[in-house]
């Protein structure tokens, strides 16, 4: 039976095909089988994503790896995009490759 999941609310699957058979109650989705190739999409959907500018309030996080990438994060206290060293994995969304990207995403925070 085809179904849809409302990503915005995280509600239980809603059948989209034929009506449920008599005597069957809707069940919450506790697991999901993935066809090959869908894993990246589902991983993205399951990732915690801040809505609006919320990620701009997160601190800079160097991450779990040991690379030395120069990145920029929005510092709410100074209301500036500031440089930090990113290790290459982990971290959070307050992590931009350029100062311009940081400014474009977060410059309206705190104003």
Please determine, for residue 84, whether its predicted confidence score (pLDDT) is greater than 70. yes
* Cβ-based neighbours of 32, under 8 Å, separated by 6 or more: 42
In a domain, residue 92? The reply is yes
For residues 36 and 57, membership in a common domain is answered with no
Range of the domain at 71: 52-106
For residues 58 and 38, membership in a common domain is answered with no
Q: Tell me, what's the pLDDT at 23? A: 60
Share of the chain above pLDDT 70, in %: 51
For residues 29 and 67, membership in a common domain is answered with no
pTM (whole model) above 0.85: no
Structural domain tally of the chain? 2
Q: Tell me, what's the pLDDT at 1? A: 44
In a domain, residue 60? The reply is yes
For residues 102 and 57, membership in a common domain is answered with yes
Give the mean pLDDT of 12-37: 52
For residues 70 and 33, membership in a common domain is answered with no
In a domain, residue 111? The reply is no
Q: Rounded CA gap, 111 and 109, in Å?
A: 6
């Amino acid at each position: 039976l085809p179904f849809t999941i409302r990503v915005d609310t995280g509600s239980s699957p809603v059948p989209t095909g034929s009506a449920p058979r008599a005597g069957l109650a809707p069940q919450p989705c506790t697991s999901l089988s993935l066809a090959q190739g869908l894993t990246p999409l589902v991983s993205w959907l399951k990732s915690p994503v801040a809505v609006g500018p919320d990620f701009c309030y997160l601190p800079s996080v160097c991450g779990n790896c040991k690379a030395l990438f120069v990145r920029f994060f929005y510092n709410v206290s100074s209301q500036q995009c500031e440089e930090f060293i990113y290790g290459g994995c982990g971290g959070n969304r307050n992590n931009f490759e350029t100062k311009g990207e940081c400014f474009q995403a977060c410059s309206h925070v705190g104003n």
